[in-house]
Amino acid sequence: MTPLNLPPVTLKTQTSGAQTSVFDFLRRRYVRLTPEEWVRQHFTHFLVTHKHYPQGLLANEVTVMVGGVARRCDTVLYHRQGGSPRIIIEYKAPSVPITAATFRQACSYNSVLKADYIFVSNGLTHYCCRIDYHAFRVEYLNEIPDYDAL
């Protein structure tokens, strides 16, 4: 797999025939190892290990109804109190550039979830936006904040 712009992590993998799976520590099961999953696993480990995000507040592949269609948000961080979404994260494979369409996809999920932050990453480039709903403003942050800074 492609080396990423994230700290290295040791992932548990298993192979069956020609298919490799990786253990998703949030879902507590093996899932097919795709380039996008490679990014998801590195990014979620980065959040928990280096940015101190509570593992118990993160969830992968969260179903969201957008315009009557079931869609899956890649990762969601929930608030401690009330369980409402705090951050939504959209991943792309390292070979897929982050474009306006990527942000539109994340924003479509956020039209339902109303999270405070949107993160987008392809493992090489990472974007972090804080949404101020009262001022109708989006602020791009220079880096992924530590959990305590949210």
Q: Would you say residue 60 lies in a domain? A: yes
Q: Would you say residue 6 lies in a domain? A: no
Nearest one of 132, 98, 91, 137 to 115, comparing CA atoms: 132
Q: Would you say residue 80 lies in a domain? A: yes
pLDDT at residue 65 in the model: 92
Beta carbons within 8 Å of 149's beta carbon, 6+ residues apart:
none
pLDDT-derived band of residue 83, with 50, 70 and 90 as boundaries?
Answer: confident
Q: Would you say residue 5 lies in a domain? A: no
CATH number for the domain including 86?
3.90.1570.30
The domain total for the chain is: 1
Q: What residues make up the domain containing 58?
A: 13-149
- The pTM score is 0.95
Sole residue written with tokens 């009557």: 68
Q: Would you say residue 98 lies in a domain? A: yes
Q: Would you say residue 70 lies in a domain? A: yes
**What would the mean pLDDT of 112-117 be, rounded to a whole number?**
95
Q: Would you say residue 142 lies in a domain? A: yes
pLDDT at residue 137 in the model: 94
H helices present in 1-146, as ranges: 35-49, 100-113
